[in-house]
């Protein structure tokens, strides 16, 4: 009776996974610590009783597209300093990539990190929090070639300001943070 060994399949998988983790950690430290961005803090403000807005103002030489997401880490709020979570970017980039731009994230309170962040924001509106960013990631659809687009999002928009590209107050879900930038980009 032959004994089957799966080690030939398991170890290469662990090596690839470990290599990916090392590269992501190196990229994370290069973007957020080595280059020491001038503004590594975000402004957190409450929107509703269970959601908040995080605004980061930085230079992003590569820019981003509406519908992409970024991994954010909050070293002073999280139990593990490099613990990061994905959040959808709820703003669109300006045309001039050399100037500072504002990334807006709409975050709904859940358990864990988002609850800690919400409690931190409840201490004072417009409070600053250190934020490390990794991204943007994702490949949002290009809606420009289509004559008709139907965009569906959770939540009800109460106020929208074109001047800041995205200042939303809403009730319900945060699906609007994905859909509204796509709409604004189509209109633009």
69 falls within a domain: yes
Task: pLDDT band for 4, please (50, 70, 90 cuts).
Answer: low
Angstrom distance (rounded) from CA 20 to CA 40: 25
113 falls within a domain: yes
169 falls within a domain: yes
Candidate from 93-107, 129-143, 148-162 with smallest mean pLDDT: 148-162
> What share of the chain has pLDDT > 70, as a percent?
77
Phi, psi torsion values for 157, nearest 5 degrees = -80, 130
5 falls within a domain: no
4 falls within a domain: no
Give the domain range for residue 149. Answer: 10-187
The model's pTM is 0.71
1 falls within a domain: no
Per the structure, how many domains does the chain have?
A: 1
> Exposure of 65 by Cβ count < 10 A (0-12 exposed, 13-18 middle, 19+ buried)?
middle
Distances in whole angstroms, Cα of residue 17 to Cα of each of 23, 70, 183? 10, 20, 37
Which has more confidence, 127 or 169?
A: 127
135 falls within a domain: yes
Angstrom distance (rounded) from CA 172 to CA 122: 19
Q: Which whole number is the average pLDDT over 152-174?
A: 47
Return the CATH number at 81. Answer: 2.40.30.10
Residue-wise pLDDT for 18-32, tens only, equals 998 898 888 777 777
2 falls within a domain: no
């Amino acid at each position: 009776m032959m004994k089957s060994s799966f080690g030939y399949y398991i170890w290469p998988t662990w090596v690839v996974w470990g290599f990916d983790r090392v590269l992501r950690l190196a990229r994370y430290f290069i973007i957020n610590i080595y280059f020491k961005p001038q503004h590594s803090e975000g402004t957190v403000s409450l929107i509703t009783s269970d959601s908040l807005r995080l605004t980061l103002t930085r230079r992003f030489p590569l820019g981003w597209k509406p519908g992409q997401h970024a991994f954010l880490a909050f070293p002073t709020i999280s139990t593990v300093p490099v613990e990061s979570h994905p959040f959808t970017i709820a703003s669109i980039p300006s045309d001039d990539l050399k100037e500072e731009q504002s990334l807006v994230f709409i975050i709904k309170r859940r358990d864990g990190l988002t609850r800690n962040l919400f409690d931190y924001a409840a201490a004072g509106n417009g409070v600053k929090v250190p934020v490390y960013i990794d991204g943007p990631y994702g490949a949002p659809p290009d809606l420009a070639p289509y004559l008709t687009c139907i965009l569906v999002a959770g939540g009800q928009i109460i106020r929208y300001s074109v001047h800041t590209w995205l200042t939303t107050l809403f009730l319900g879900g945060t699906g609007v943070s994905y859909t509204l930038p796509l709409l604004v980009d189509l209109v633009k």
